[in-house]
Amino acid sequence: MHIKTKTFQITPKELRSLLTVDYYRRMKITFILLAILLLINIIFSVLQNRFDWWLIYFVALMAYFVSVPLFFQVQKRNSTLNFQNRYCEIDENFFAVFYEDGSIVKLNYSHFIQVTKKADYYFLYMTKGQFHYLPVAAFESEKDIHRFDLFLQSKQLIKLW
């Protein structure tokens, strides 16, 4: 298997937007639980005709979780290489990224701990906070996408089903 992608680039604004959407998807259950607890707390406070300090704690906690994406500092946390034009070459042994300035990053698949696939992109995680972004649109064909998915599944980095 040898796959070469098209040249692609992501801006800090686009990456921040992707990370924000991903954060809200992952936190959806937490938001629902906090909203339910907040609603129950409000109902009991109104029925008992008294002020409950837990209401302020829940509102503050909810505000904190909702505002976390505002603190994402994508440019400071990521290398400037991540925002350059680049393309990838993928084979059975290595995942290589070729940047427009001539830099090359060649990684063995054992360096990846997890791969997350969304509809438009892959995040290939090396640590919990460090990843390589790979858009699905960068692949030449659907066949290449399918081969890459099956290969990642064989390496136990992604679950397709």
Residue 49 has which token pair?
């005709």
pLDDT at 56: 81
Cα separation of the two ends of the chain: 22
pLDDT at 96: 92
**pLDDT single digits (tens) 20-79:** 888 898 899 988 988 888 888 888 888 888 877 777 887 888 888 888 888 777 656 666
Question: Residue 101's CB: how many other CB atoms inside 10 A?
Answer: 10
Banded pLDDT at 89 (limits 50, 70, 90): very high
- Check whether 136 has a pLDDT greater than 90: yes
Task: Give me the DSSP letters along 95-115.
Answer: EEEEETTS-EEEEEGGG--EE
pLDDT at 4: 92
Strand partners, 117: 122
**Residue 36: what residue type?**
I
Give the start-to-end residue ranges of the domains of the chain.
2-11+77-154, 15-74
**Residue 156: what residue type?**
Q
- Within 8 A by CB and 6+ apart from 78, the residues are 12, 15
pLDDT at 147: 92
Distance of CA 45 to the CA centre of its chain: 39
Report percent pLDDT > 90 for the chain: 22
Prediction pTM value: 0.74
Average pLDDT on 82-109 reads 89
- Check whether 83 has a pLDDT greater than 60: yes
Distance (Å, rounded) from C-alpha 8 to C-alpha 86?
6
- Contact, 148 vs 90, CB < 8 A? yes
Distance (Å, rounded) from C-alpha 13 to C-alpha 36?
33
> Hey, which CATH number is domain 2-11+77-154, 2.40.50.150, 3.30.750.24, 2.30.29.30, 2.40.37.10?
2.30.29.30
Most confident of 37-46, 85-94, 122-131: 85-94
* Helix pair 53-67, 28-47: axis angle to 10 deg: 160
